[in-house]
A and B are shown apart, each in its own frame.
Chain A
Amino acid sequence: MEEELTRESICQQENLVYSRTPLMTPKALSYCPGCGHGTAHRLIMEVIEEMNLQSQTIGVAPVGCSVLAYDFLDIDMQQAAHGRAPAVATGIKRLLPDKFVFTYQGDGDLAAIGTGETIHACNRGENICIFFVNNGIYGMTGGQMAPTTLPNMKTATSPYGRDVVSMGYPLKITEMIAMLPGTCFVTRQSVHTPANVRKTKKAIQKAVQCQLDKKGLSFVEIVSNCNSGWKMTPLESNKWMEENMFPVFPLGDIKVPKP
């Protein structure tokens, strides 16, 4: 070998193949170690950077763990009342139809208190994107039972496990809204392995393109872990998610846009 490759000679700007996108602010994320929210944030920002949409994007932040999303995403953001992000996004998109508008919501926000807003925004076929992070629990408030909590899953408010007779079944809101004619692209992905991260990024790109083509509402569910709420290590929680969450919430496209 003629020239020795040193760490310094490899770590040059021209050899950089991946780094945190500049559309994420330098602020440290407030999420627990191993939480999928950070990856989901980064993927959305990468797509916005690659499609050169930063100056025309308006995001709507939810209430929940990701309530501080506007601190981490270097785009224009609007805070909505709990569960009302699709209604706020509807107003923004109707007044500013040239902007790219998305909401970023958790399962407690989108599938519990905001079920009505979600279903009606989808039914009206508003030309927005909804990114839905589903971890089956209310993470921010300390791990209470959510509508998406699995049967027999122990949470702070179902200490003996979710009894489906008295507490109902996990709400598959993604399948529900896929039946509505107003939605154009409905998919469910996850961000726990490199392959799934790549698939999720493709799904987000497709969702953004659907909005730019004015095809209707696109809905990307990201099944994620909540290692703090599930009382596991990040690696254990990802394994538990594969074994328990995916049979109830199978990954894949549920509705694809018509060509």
Chain B
Amino acid sequence: MAKVKGEIVINSERCKGCELCVPVCQQQTIAMSDKLNSKGYHYAMSINDECNGCINCALVCPDGVISVYRVKLKDAAVA
């Protein structure tokens, strides 16, 4: 089990659906939504809870729509 746990928050209204964040995610956490935002883009969304908070997606996002949170798991939780 991972020693850290992350979570991403995507501002889906600002996402332009460029998909640059999808291949850089090692955990395959990000996928494109079937739905459209008000600008007509298929926005990125988090599809599982494997995120480890590596911030790769936020670094490559040209529009800076991804915020990344990360917590360290306590030893008891890891065991």
A residues sitting closer than 8 Å to B (CB atoms) are: 1-2, 5, 7, 9-12, 15-21, 24, 28-29, 31-39, 42, 191-194, 197-198, 233-235, 238
Contact = CB atoms under 8 A, between A and B. Distances in A.
A38 B56 contact: no
A133 B16 CA distance: 21
Interface string B1-18: 000011101000010111
Contacts of A34: 16, 18-20, 62
Contacts, number: 99
Closest 3 CB pairs of A and B: A38-B62, A34-B18, A20-B64
Given A1-B77, A11-B9, A238 B20 contact: yes
Interface residues of B, number: 34
A15 B9 CA distance: 12
A1 B77 CA distance: 5
A194 B20 contact: no
A235 B23 contact: yes
B71 interface: yes
B55 interface: yes
Contact of A18 (B19, B20, B55): B55
B18 A28 contact: no
B49 to A, nearest CB: 8
